Amino acid sequence: MRLLVTGAAGMLGRAVVTAATRLGHEVVALSRAELDITDEDHVQRIVGAAEPRAIVNCAAWTDVDGAETAEATATAINGAGAGNVARAATEHGARVVHISTDYVFNGLNDVPWVESDAVAPIGAYGRSKLEGEREVAAAAPEHAIVRTAWLFGAGGRNFVDTMLALGEEREEVSVVTDQVGSPTWTAHLAEGLVELAERRGDVGIFHVAGAGACTWYELAVEVFDRAGMSCRVRPTTSEQFVRPARRPAYSVLASERDEAPVLPPWQDGVAGYVAETRVGSR
């Protein structure tokens, strides 16, 4: 199958390209420099020329804090841009797999969020991503909208890399205990996204994230344990780390759909990525 990947130079895009290639697909990988999804005419031309069977849209504004002061720009990419990709996919007979986020929820829950739960984003980033969901659903009958959470992997800024770097420099770090989520390794998620790209007819929203849940504190402890680092993790709260954008307190995702790809436990993702990182640093 010919698969077009937008945002292919980003953390998730790279993983999708790798997974799709390994699974034997013909991949058209386009970075932001090669395809600006906010330019609808350009998107139509590129998709028309590529003639993909499916598109995995990894192009996105991902700066959560920056979106608070640049919401229009974030929405142009995450909202209107996603719509441009979806319309081009429909026009040229391709299925579209679009990436969304746990930030469409308000975090005020104590059980895992499922696809039918009411959305209520508490920040600009979440609002921009929710607009993208709506644009894609309206523009592409053959779509899969994939909500995921707490991504980490090669090729982009993420919490696991931050902890590994701090562990080399410090004897201890402080990490919050009052935010809970589903850490997701991009390599695991990428396989699920390619699977959904292959499955025409399975339409709608899917929650796909690392199985299980933890706090950022527990994630940091796991990272240091897997890396064999002696860095101590001190518990703290979000009040001690004021940031421009509020974070949902509870971002655990689960699926009520039998068709949703099931990812390995988040601990397996940490183990896999830390092992990959340690080998790469030698």
125 catalytic per annotation: yes
Query: Phi and psi of 113, rounded to 5°?
Result: -75, 135
Nearest 5°: CA angle at 33, between 30 and 37? Answer: 70
Tell me the CA end-to-end span of the chain in Å, nearest whole number: 36
State how beta strands 143-148 and 184-185 pair.
unpaired
Confirm if 130 and 78 have CB atoms less than 8 A apart. no
Residue at token pair 């199958």: 1
Q: Given strand 204-207, what is the order of strands in its sheet?
A: 26-30, 2-6, 54-57, 95-101, 143-148, 204-207
Distance CA 276, CA 154 (A): 9
The residue from 125, 217, 250, 273 that is catalytic is 125
Confirm if 233 and 163 have CB atoms less than 8 A apart. no
Residues with catalytic roles: 125
